[in-house]
Amino acid sequence: MPEVIKRCAIYTRKSFEPPAGQEITSLESQRAICSSYVASQQHRRWVEIASHYDDSGRTGADTHRPALQQLLSDVEAGLVDVVLIYKLDRLTRTLFDFVRLTDFLDRHGVALVSITQNFDTSDSLGRLVLNILLTFAQFEREILSDRMRDKIRVLKQMGRWVGGSPPLGYDVVKKKLIANPNEAQAVRTIFKGYLETHSIEAVHRRLQGQGFRRKVWKARTGAVFGGGIVTLSSLHHILRNPIYVGEVSHRGEVYPGIHQPIVERHVFEEVQKALALHSQRHPRVPTNLLTGLLFDSAGRPMCVKAYTYKGRQIRYYASNVSAWARRRKLKRMRADGNGLEQLVIASLKTLLLDREQLRPILLGHGVHGVELDSLTRAGSTAARRFDRISDVKLGDVLRGILQRVELTASHVTLLMWIEELRRFLAWDGVGMFGTDADGRQRNPSIHFLCVAASVVRARKLFALPVPAAIWNGTPRVDDKLIRLLDDAERARTLMMVRRDLDLPGLAAAFGCKMDRYSRLVRLSYLAPDIALAIRDGMEPVGVTRRTLLAANIPLDWATQRTLLGFPPQPEHLRNPNATPVRPVPNGN
């Protein structure tokens, strides 16, 4: 019986872009050698596929490479039987990524072949040799990184410019900083303005009024950067940068530079004293709990943005701007900071309070017996701990438990380290709860918690602006809330009856705008015990008609209770002395 044809895919990678006009590149050399090897295996019915998987100018430190991701997609689709590489470090330079990739290939029955390093992944000895080779590849990468860091440190000790975006006030000429007269005058104006006002916000407003823009510079590739509006963070950096007095900083140390200073020494020192005094009077409290954890549906990190509107600070998370996203015309996602953080914390508290959901997670992680019972009983205590700890501790807890948080237009997905969740349940609340790197390496298990909630907007607006709610214990019936629930039930009934209408038609038939109609329909999916509590007048103080209309309520009932301030047990909301609920009238 003849052997089955093996479809061979060749993957090549090069860390740096080849110079323009170079006839033969490293990628072409790798492909030619691999192609020759495939041709020599015709007796095994190996056939090279036409697709090229070439990553030029991509590092091997991670797997975020377009060609590699396309190769993995084709493997998953069953289009590849053998993956050929010139050398192991062309695929990856980290042991963790290699284990993941080989496991992925094994699960899809795809062989991995290195041309210059003869090994066979089908037996234990071949796997041992492969791991040894990869360990040396990772060691080589770390050695190169150490050499580069040492080179940068020596150059900065010599006062040299080591590259990057040039600071405002200087141009880079033959790898040296040369003062730009016009920009240097603008830097002096910034320092002088801060000494006059002692307010970075005042300097920022003055620069905006003058139409001041950020520095424009051209890279060696010809790409032009900068030119945007000046931000408060850039002003902070300018005022604290010792490069303007002829010095170079590196890891907290300052060295004399070889470039010309453009700000007088006594002016710079007075500015540093004023900034230090301002920091003492107005200490910065970290409130951005999801910094470094939050990503949008396209994988872009989301950072915090803030501005002041009518004397009130508005804080939201927004996707980082990236060139590939602009090419694909992907809009930046935005989500209200306070509401999103509330939703993440409420989702974690809901999980800890639900023993039926928590026990299978711990059982799958190898927790059983007395420890399982003890940890599940500690869930309620751990959930209450979120309300008692400070913002600093809360940020450490979230960064310890969560690997990342991903947002889409309809869901929030929490990726949790199960081992860290176990440690948090066993934590006594004393000291700081931090990450356990060793535990993560031993137990990389992750639990995915998906919460259905429209918290992301492609436009500039909010998500779940529900304040902390506390019930005062006194029943008080709010007629406005009851009418709102009646309208929500009528909107849902109309949607069920008039299936021939689209959303604009349903909103027109109901006599309101589309946005309000969609919010009313979503409001009709409140948990029954929450709706009954509102009709009985037993809702928390923070639950009002305005907050319910403005909030994009999640569909999960348990998360609704935690988020809106209701007790986790529905039977605690029942009022036997309440009057019967009147039926919802039909029609509009």
Q: Mark whether 333 and 437 lie in a shared domain.
A: yes
Tell me, yes or no, whether 320 and 248 share the same domain.
no
Q: Are 194 and 232 in contact (CB under 8 A)?
A: no
pLDDT at position 431 is 59
CATH code, domain carrying 239 = 3.90.1750.20
Among the residue ranges 459-473, 513-527, 562-576, the one predicted with the least confidence is 459-473
User: What's the confidence (pLDDT) of residue 462?
Assistant: 38
Instruction: Give phi and psi for 393, each to the nearest 5.
Output: -65, -40
- Per-residue confidence band for 19, with pLDDT thresholds at 50, 70 and 90: low
Share of the chain above pLDDT 70, in %: 82
- Kindly indicate the confidence band of residue 527, based on its pLDDT and cuts at 50, 70 and 90: confident
Band (67; pLDDT cuts 50, 70, 90)? very high
Question: Which residues neighbour 587 within 8 Å (Cβ) at sequence distance 6 or greater?
Answer: 490
- Which whole number is the average pLDDT over 102-124? 78
Asked whether residue 274 carries a pLDDT value surpassing 70, the answer given is yes
Cα–Cα distance list, 528 to 142, 556, 557, 558, 560 (Å): 58, 12, 9, 11, 11
Mean pLDDT of 508-521: 84
pLDDT (average), residues 491-504:
85
Q: Is the pLDDT of residue 302 over 60?
A: yes
Asked, for residue 566, whether it belongs to a domain, the answer is: yes
Rounded CA gap, 226 and 209, in Å? 19
Do residue 243 and residue 316 come from a single domain?
no
465 within domain boundaries: no
Whole-number average pLDDT of the chain: 79
From CA 300, how far away is CA 406, in angstroms rounded? 9
User: What's the pLDDT band for 332 if we cut at 50, 70, 90?
Assistant: confident
Confidence label for 552 from pLDDT (cuts 50, 70 and 90)? low
Domain boundary among 281, 316, 339: 281
Whether residue 76 lies inside any domain: the answer is yes
Indicate whether 303 and 433 sit together in one domain. Answer: yes
Would you say residue 323 has pLDDT above 50? yes
For residue range 210-221, what is the model confidence (pLDDT) as tens digits? 888 888 878 777
Q: Give 3-state DSSP helix, strand, coil % of the chain, rounded to 5.
A: 45, 15, 35
Residue 439 lies in a domain: yes
Same domain, residue pair 277 and 299: no
Q: 161 Cβ partners below 8 Å, 6+ apart?
A: 172, 175, 176, 177, 248, 259
> Which pLDDT score, from 0 to 100, does residue 80 have?
92
The one-letter amino acid at 119:
F
Verify that 123 and 197 share a domain, yes or no.
no
Instruction: Record the pTM.
Output: 0.42
465 pLDDT more than 50: no
Mean pLDDT across 42-50: 89
**Can you give 96-139 as a three-state secondary structure string?**
HHHHHHHHHHHHCCCEEEECCCCCCCCCHHHHHHHHHHHHHHHH
Is the model more confident about 282 or about 203?
203
Tell me the residue range of the domain where 551 lies. 479-573
C-alpha 152/C-alpha 157 separation (Å) is: 9
pLDDT range class, residue 448, cuts 50, 70, 90: confident
Lowest-confidence pick of 102-106, 556-560, 584-588: 584-588
Per DSSP, 334 falls in state: E
> Same structural domain for residues 313 and 399?
yes
Q: Is the pLDDT of residue 267 over 80?
A: yes
User: Is 456:554 a contact under the CB 8 Å cutoff?
Assistant: no
* CATH number of the structural domain spanning residue 73: 3.40.50.1390
Q: Do 300 and 448 fall within a single domain?
A: yes
Do 407 and 513 reside in the same domain of the chain?
A: no
Q: Is residue 383 part of a domain?
A: yes
Average pLDDT over residues 508-522: 84
Distances (CA, A) of 540 to 199, 520, 547, 565, 570: 41, 20, 12, 6, 14
Give 423-430 contacts, CB < 8 A, sequence gap 24+.
424/382, 424/397, 424/400, 425/352, 425/375, 425/378, 425/379, 425/382, 426/375, 426/378, 427/382, 429/385, 429/388, 429/389
d(CA 567, CA 545): 20
Residue 366 has φ and ψ, to the nearest 5°, of: 95, 10
Residue range 421-437, pLDDT digits in tens: 888 888 776 655 655 44
- Structural domain includes residue 474: no
Is 566 in the same domain as 436?
no
Confidence of residue 549 (pLDDT cuts 50, 70, 90): confident
Strands (E), 386-468: 402-407, 411-417, 446-452
- 255-260-261 Cα angle (round to 5): 75
Pick the last residue of a domain from 258, 281, 304: 281
In this predicted model, which residue has the larger pLDDT, 423 or 562?
423
pLDDT band at residue 49, thresholds of 50, 70 and 90? very high
Specify the number of domains making up the chain: 4
Same domain, 214 and 271: yes
Closest CA to 172 of 225, 212, 213, 211: 225
Q: What is the mean pLDDT of residues 359-386?
A: 84
On the question of pLDDT at 468 being above 90, the answer is no
Lowest mean pLDDT among 30-34, 193-197, 444-448, 509-513: 444-448
Write down which residue in 281, 304, 330 finishes a domain.
281
Residue 259 has pLDDT above 70, yes or no: yes
Judge whether 269 and 375 are in contact, CB under 8 Å. Answer: no
pLDDT at 473 over 70: no
Whether the per-residue pLDDT at 325 is higher than 60: the answer is: yes
Lowest mean pLDDT among 5-19, 291-305, 377-391, 426-440: 426-440
| 283-306 mean pLDDT | 78
Question: If pLDDT is split at 50, 70 and 90, which confidence band does 458 have?
Answer: very low
327 belongs to a structural domain: yes
End-to-end CA separation in angstroms for the chain: 74
Query: Has residue 153 been placed in a domain?
Result: no
Which pLDDT tens digit goes with each residue over 208-248?
888 888 888 787 777 788 887 777 778 888 999 999 998 99
Do 335 and 223 fall into the same domain?
no
| Among 26-40, 168-182, 426-440, 573-587, the least confident range | 573-587
**The predicted structure's pLDDT at residue 571:** 53
